Chains A and B, each alone.
Chain A
Amino acid sequence: MNQFLFGLVLLIGLMLPPVARLMESVMIIHMHMQMPMLVIAGFFMAHLFLQRYPQFFNKYNQNGVPGILLFTIIMAYWLLPRTMDEALTIETVEIFKFVSLPFLAGVPLRDSWRRLSKTWKNNVITLFTVVFLGMGWLYIQSNDQLCNNYLVIDQVILGWGFITMAICMVIYLIYIFAVDPSQYE
């Protein structure tokens, strides 16, 4: 219950208009801070759903793959420059953001992550690493304004944000492959 409340308070906090406006005023904070925090809010709230409806999750997400697929689709959708623009200009899309990221990405992520095998987990991280490198390249080299609401410099900054995050994931993958936990645990 505590975890659910923490997630709910985080979600409500992020939805407060002044907070949302501040975070959305900077492109990279919009995409790399607000959106992941919404997923994290869902991740925490998932605790209650997993307790209350274990049957539902067992039935539809037996091996974790459907859940991670849903997570990936939602994340991919919110990676598009146009969706970010629409979130700022169309209210229903903004509402969809605050619903989809916690409940359709955060919740299935938590349920799937405990079900997925190690290989699946590493593949998911590798997929996002490649996607982030690609998005970084797109945002850095594009001379055109991809979002109506943000300047080109914001795009470049976001691009570098993608690259640095991808580097962190590469370091993590190297750590996973290079260090054999059975030597230590």
Chain B
Amino acid sequence: MQPALKTTSIKQKTTQVLGISLEDARISKSYLSVAFIALLLGGLLGLLQGLNRAGVLQLPPWLNYYQVLTAHGILLVVVLSAFFTIGYFYAGLSHTLGGLLPKVRKMAWIGFWMKIFGFVLVVIPILRNEASVMYTFYPPMAASPMFYFGLVFIVLGVWMLSFGAFTQVANWRRNHKGEHLPILAFFATGVFVLLVGATAFVAVEVIFMIIPWTLGWVDGINVLLARTLFWAFGHTAVNIWYLTAVSAWYVVVPKIIGGTRWNDLLTRMVVIPLVIMNITGGFHHQIIDPGISESIKYMHVFMSLAIGFPSLMTAYAMFRVFERTARAKGGKGLVGWYKKMPWGDVRFLAPFIAMVAFIPAGAGGIVQSTNQLDQVVHNTMWVVGHFHLTLGMSVVMTFFGISYWLVPYLSKRVLTPAMNRLGVIQTVIWTIGMVIMAISMHIVGLFGSPRRTSFTTYGDFAEKLGWNPYMALVGIGATLLLLAVILQVYAVFNLMFFAPKGTTEFPIAEEEAGAEKTPYWTERWGIWVVLMLLVVSMAYVLPIVDMILNAPPGSPPFKTW
């Protein structure tokens, strides 16, 4: 057992025995509700796009393809992921650190309403077709200033929540001197550190560059610099959602299959490098950008691939845990032990498929961060297929798997066999839909079909017509996915309000018996943060100073839609 849990305080034990307090549960339930409503809306918009690209649905002028695309991206990449991550980790902090402090609860609510207010400000211009700038909002495309003010509030909300989490963790550590932070809270700390680090870049971009420019205070914007700041954030954001999913793989899944956790030190050693090295990975999104010299791009490939290393550690660790657990249950043979896994349990099945999906997803990511290979697929449907594998499968399916125990845990209800069966069906439909969609996107991307382009036959140009069968498959995939979304959202709200009352456990696996004690240096977060800042400054100072000092005159705002 983890040393930190050995001497748990009375308060902590109470939380773990009696379950989460109503106030803490309300916070997480609110976040999860927003997340799954965003999933429903985002999924619906995804279907509209899929059908448009399949050529079967002409979108009306008052809700055009680019509006739908912008809203789909923001709802799913920003709202669903961020709200789920926060709801999940705040429940985890409450559970493992003995309930949230009253001031932390207050911070969580202030953060919640700031984010909601921000999203309202973001959504209004999108609906009025004044912000069809996609979720990446690259200048020189300029949306209504209201859109960017909304983003500022979202970032402020994220900071509030991050500092809430830090306050909670610092308080726990003051009361548990010399103990290791419980592993789920350790993951949460890493995630919130990264959230602050990543959003700092986008805050600089939006507050100091884009807002003065859209308000007309300055004439031009440094496009390359803005893109660089965006990707320092954007890439890290995606990795934050991934790290959230990974936390469940390490901490929760072993408990669900009846096993023990992977080595504690190695688990923490996955979190620490991911925190230190993550932000600099953003450059591989700019491999095709002009204005960054090739030697810089070449060196940044190292930084991107360095993040792959902890992922490879994770892949090994997970399958080792599976095999160890299955063999302990009598599993035999080279692959025969797989039969001993709880395949009928949605809480395992969904995250398991998520992990498997990360194998092709990670490989595709390496393709995209390699200069020459990326030149073939950059800005094509391949990229869309890639992040539907990473986010749409690896991350979101893990989130779905989590929801089947987290929601009943929060609402003090139970997952019934019928609901579990529904979850399995939902998982299967989602998997089939996403596999069809992502594979056809990858293939058609290799053929050159561009992303972010409304349906067109390019004047019936024969070669481009060859893309259409794949786009039809994208439409079919999107249809299946919406069906799965409806089932998932139904399951979540059923488990939140209608499932039978009862006690559901917060599944946290324990360490293997006789595991070695983890050294204390893993807890020195101050050092990890300074190292992160050092790596960031080493990686960014050269290109950014160059971009500023050798900047072109700057671009005026454009409304391309």
Contacts and interface: CB of A to CB of B under 8 A. Distances in A.
Interface of A: 22, 25-26, 28-29, 32-33, 153, 156-157, 160-161, 164-165, 167-168, 171-172, 175, 179, 183-185
Interface of B: 170, 173-174, 177-178, 295-296, 298-299, 520, 523, 526-527, 529-530, 533-534, 537-538, 541-542, 545-546, 549-550
Nearest to B178: A185
B546 A26 contact: no
Given A153-B550, A185-B520, A32 B545 contact: no
18 contacts: A22-B298, A25-B295, A153-B549, A153-B550, A156-B549, A157-B542, A157-B545, A160-B545, A161-B537, A161-B538, A161-B541, A165-B534, A167-B533, A168-B530, A168-B534, A184-B173, A184-B177, A185-B178
| B interface secondary structure, majority | helix
A171 B520 CA distance: 22
Contacts of A172: 526-527, 530
B548 to A, nearest CB: 9
Contacts of A26: 295-296, 542
Contacts of B173: 183-184
Contacts of B550: 153
B91 to A, nearest CB: 24
A132 to B, nearest CB: 11
Contacts of A157: 541-542, 545-546
A156 B548 CA distance: 11
A33 B538 contact: yes
Q: In the complex, which of the residues B170, B177, B520, B541 has the most CB atoms of chain A within 10 Å of its own CB atom? A: B541
B541 A175 contact: no
A49 B549 CA distance: 46
A157 B537 CA distance: 11
Contacts of A185: 177-178, 520, 523
B381 to A, nearest CB: 35
B537 A168 contact: yes
A32 B338 CA distance: 49
Q: In the complex, which of the residues A22, A160, A184 has the most CB atoms of chain B within 10 Å of its own CB atom? A: A184
Contacts of B534: 165, 168
A183 B177 contact: yes
A124 to B, nearest CB: 16
A164 B533 CA distance: 9
A157 B545 CA distance: 6
Nearest to B537: A164
B526 A175 contact: yes
A154 to B, nearest CB: 9
B296 to A, nearest CB: 8
A168 B295 contact: no
Given A22-B295, A165-B537, A171 B530 contact: yes
A165 B536 CA distance: 10
A90 B529 CA distance: 39
A159 B174 CA distance: 40
Contact of B526 (A32, A165, A179): A179
A185 B173 CA distance: 8
Q: In the complex, which of the residues B298, B520, B526, B542 has the most CB atoms of chain A within 10 Å of its own CB atom? A: B542
Nearest to B293: A26
B61 to A, nearest CB: 48
Contacts of B299: 29
Contacts of A167: 533, 537
A28 B541 contact: yes
B541 to A, nearest CB: 5
Nearest to A179: B526
A28 B177 contact: no
Contacts of A175: 526, 529-530
A168 B298 CA distance: 25
Contacts of B546: 153, 157
Q: Please list the 7 inter-chain residue pairs (A to B) with the smallest Cβ-Cβ separation, ordered nearest first.
A: A164-B537, A175-B526, A157-B545, A184-B173, A172-B530, A161-B541, A168-B533
A184 B174 contact: yes
Given A157-B541, A164-B537, A165-B537, 15 more contacts: A26-B295, A26-B296, A26-B542, A153-B546, A153-B550, A160-B541, A161-B541, A164-B538, A165-B538, A167-B537, A171-B530, A172-B526, A175-B530, A184-B173, A185-B520
A165 B540 CA distance: 12
A28 B295 CA distance: 13
A164 B549 contact: no
A168 B170 CA distance: 22
Contacts of A28: 541-542
A167 B523 CA distance: 23
Contacts of A33: 538
Contacts of A153: 546, 549-550
Contacts of B542: 26, 28-29, 157, 161
Nearest to A22: B295
A184 B525 CA distance: 12
A124 B534 CA distance: 18
B377 to A, nearest CB: 26
Contacts of B178: 184-185
Contacts of B537: 161, 164-165, 167-168
B544 to A, nearest CB: 8
A156 B295 CA distance: 18
Contacts of B170: 184
Contact of B174 (A161, A165, A183): A183
A171 B545 contact: no
Nearest to B550: A153
B533 A171 contact: yes
A156 B174 contact: no
A163 to B, nearest CB: 8
A28 B173 CA distance: 40
Contacts of B545: 156-157, 160
B117 to A, nearest CB: 31
Contacts of A168: 530, 533-534, 537
